[in-house]
Amino acid sequence: MLATRLCTMRKLPSVLARKLTSGTSGSPVLPDMSEGHLPIHVNNVRSRLRDIVGASTNWRDHVQAMQERKALHTLLAKRQEDLPPRRMKDSYLEVILPLGSQPEIREKYLNVHNSVRFGRILEDLDSLGVLICYTHTKQETQPRSPLSIVTALVDKINLCKKIIYPDCDIKFTGNVSWVGRTSMEVKMHMLQLHGGDYSPVLDATFVMVARDPENKRPAFVNPLIPESPEEEEIFKQGELNKLKRIDFSTASLLKMAPTAEERNIVHDIFLNTLDTRTVSFRSRKLPPNSVWMEDAKLKGLQICHPQERNIFNRIFGGFLMRKAFELGWATACSYGSSRPFIVSVDDIMFQRPVEVGSLLLLSAQVCYTEKNYIQVRVHSEVYDADTREHQTTNIFHFTFISENEVPRVIPKTYGESMLYLDGKRHFAAIMKDI
C-alpha cells in the first residue's frame, strides 16, 4: 500500500544533492528569501515570472504589454548553437512554502480533512517548472526574456506520502534535466519538514516548450551539458522518457487496435456480463460488486475569469490541473464511498491554450479499478457559445487509492472498453514506477 512504500528520490547531480541536504536540520527558522537568494518564497514565484516577461498585473494593460513583447523577436537565437550551453546546477532552484513558519498562508492550502490541497501543489509545481526553465535560458544582457515558455506535458508525478501536513514547511527543489532544441524536461521534488529534517513527498517530471514572444512559433533554448557520470545518466533518462512518450502515443488506442491480450480481456468482460436467460448480444447483466462505467462519471463547468490568467494572458495551466484534480478526486470519492488519496498523476497533455472568458467543460470518468485503486480520466474542452463548437484542451490521468476495496468498473460499449484498456495501461505504467 502507498502508506508503507518507501519514497526514493530520483538521483540528483552531486552538487544539487549537497544543496538539498544542507540546512535541513535543526529548528524551523525561515531562511533569507530576499531577491537574489535561495530559497524563494512561494508567493514570489509568479511575480518573478511577470518581471521576466514584462507582464502587467493589471488586466486592462495586458494588450499593451503583449504588443511590447513583439519587439523582442530580434533577441531570439537563429540557431541553438548560437546560445551558450548551461549546466544542471545553473537552473537549480529552491522554493519554500512556509505553512509552519507563516500560519497566515495556510488557509489557501487547507482542505476539510486538515491536510494540504493537492490541487494547490499542482499550481505551485507548474509555476516553479516555468521559472526553472527561464533560469536555464536567462541571458544577463537581456532585461526581459524573448521566450514564451509554457507547460507542454506533465509526464508524471509520483507521491510517496498519503498525507501532506498543513502546519509543516514545504520545500520544492528542481532543475532542468534534459534539453532538446526547443523543449526542456524539468525534474522537481517536494519535501516536508518533520522533526527538523525534510523528508520526500513527491517527485515530478514536467516538459516545457519555448516559443517566440507572441507564443506562435518554436524558439531555440540553451543546450544542456552534463558535468559528471551521474548527470550523464540523468540526461540519458530524459532522452529515454522522450522515446517512451513517442512509443506510448504511437500505440494509442485512438490510432491502433488493442493487442490480442487486450481483445481477450474485453471479450471476457462481454461474456461475463451477458444475461444467460436470453440468447441476445444486447441483454447485459451487471456482475456482483460492479458498477457500469456509464454510472461512474461526474461533470463540471468553469467560467475562465481574468484572475486565473498566466503571464501570457491565457488561463494558467496550474489552475486547469487543480480543477481537473478536484473533479477527479470527487469522482473517486463518490465511486469508492470513502476518502481517496492521490497516488500518481501522469501524461497530462496540454493540447491547446484556454483563453480568458472561455467556458471550460470538465468530464471525469472512472475508467479502471483494481482492488483499492481507482484510475480516473478527466477530459477538458472549451465551448464556443457563438459557433457551438467544442475543442479538447487537455486529458488528465489520476491514480487514487481508496481506504477500502472498491467495486469493479465495467464497460458496456466498445468506446467504453477502449477507455477501460487505456486506463489499464496507465495504471500498469504507474505501478512499474512506484
Q: Rounded to the nearest 5°, which phi and psi values hold at 192? A: -130, 140
Question: Cell digits for 418?
Answer: 477502449
9-18, 229-238, 292-301, 388-397: the lowest-pLDDT one: 9-18
Q: In 3-state terms, what secondary structure has residue 200?
A: strand
- List, for residues 158-195, the tens digit of each pLDDT value: 999 989 999 999 999 999 999 999 999 999 999 999 98
Q: What pLDDT is recorded for position 20? A: 45
Question: In angstroms, rounded to a whole number, what is the distance separating the alpha carbons of residues 243 and 304?
Answer: 35
Q: What pLDDT is recorded for position 12? A: 46
Q: What is the pTM (predicted TM-score) of this model?
A: 0.88
3-state secondary structure 60-119: HHHHHHHHHHHHHHHHCCCCHHHCCCECHHHHCEEEEECCCCCHHHCHHHECCCCCECHH
Bond prior to 39 in cis (omega within 30° of 0) = yes
Q: What is the DSSP string of 386-433?
A: TTTEEEEEEEEEEEEEESS--PEEE--SHHHHHHHHHHHHHHHHHHHH
Question: In angstroms, rounded to a whole number, what is the distance separating the alpha carbons of residues 212 and 221?
Answer: 11
Contact 326, 142 (CB under 8 A): no
Question: In angstroms, rounded to a whole number, what is the distance separating the alpha carbons of residues 142 and 246?
Answer: 35
Q: What pLDDT is recorded for position 17? A: 45
Question: Cell digits for 425?
Answer: 495501461
66-75, 255-264, 285-294, 409-418: the lowest-pLDDT one: 66-75
- List, for residues 296-345, the tens digit of each pLDDT value: 999 999 999 988 888 888 888 999 999 999 999 999 999 999 999 999 99
Q: Rounded to the nearest 5°, which phi and psi values hold at 365? A: -135, 125
Question: In angstroms, rounded to a whole number, what is the distance separating the alpha carbons of residues 178 and 433?
Answer: 19
Contact 147, 167 (CB under 8 A): no
Q: To the nearest 10°, report the CA torsion of 276, 277, 283, 286.
A: -60
Average pLDDT, the chain: 88
Contact 186, 176 (CB under 8 A): yes
Q: What pLDDT is recorded for position 29? A: 56
- List, for residues 363-387, the tens digit of each pLDDT value: 999 999 999 999 999 999 999 888 8
Name the strand (E) or helix (H) holding 133: helix 118-136
Q: Cell numbers 506533465 label which residue?
A: 154
Q: What pLDDT is recorded for position 289? A: 94
Q: What pLDDT is recorded for position 76? A: 92
Which tops the pLDDT comparison, 57 or 163?
A: 163
Question: Cell digits for 300?
Answer: 463540471
Q: What pLDDT is recorded for position 68? A: 79
Q: What pLDDT is recorded for position 26? A: 40
Q: Is residue 417 scored above 60 in pLDDT?
A: yes
SS3 content of the chain, % helix, strand, coil (to 5): 35, 30, 35
Residues of the chain above pLDDT 70, percent: 91
Q: What pLDDT is recorded for position 369? A: 97
Which tops the pLDDT comparison, 275 or 240?
A: 240
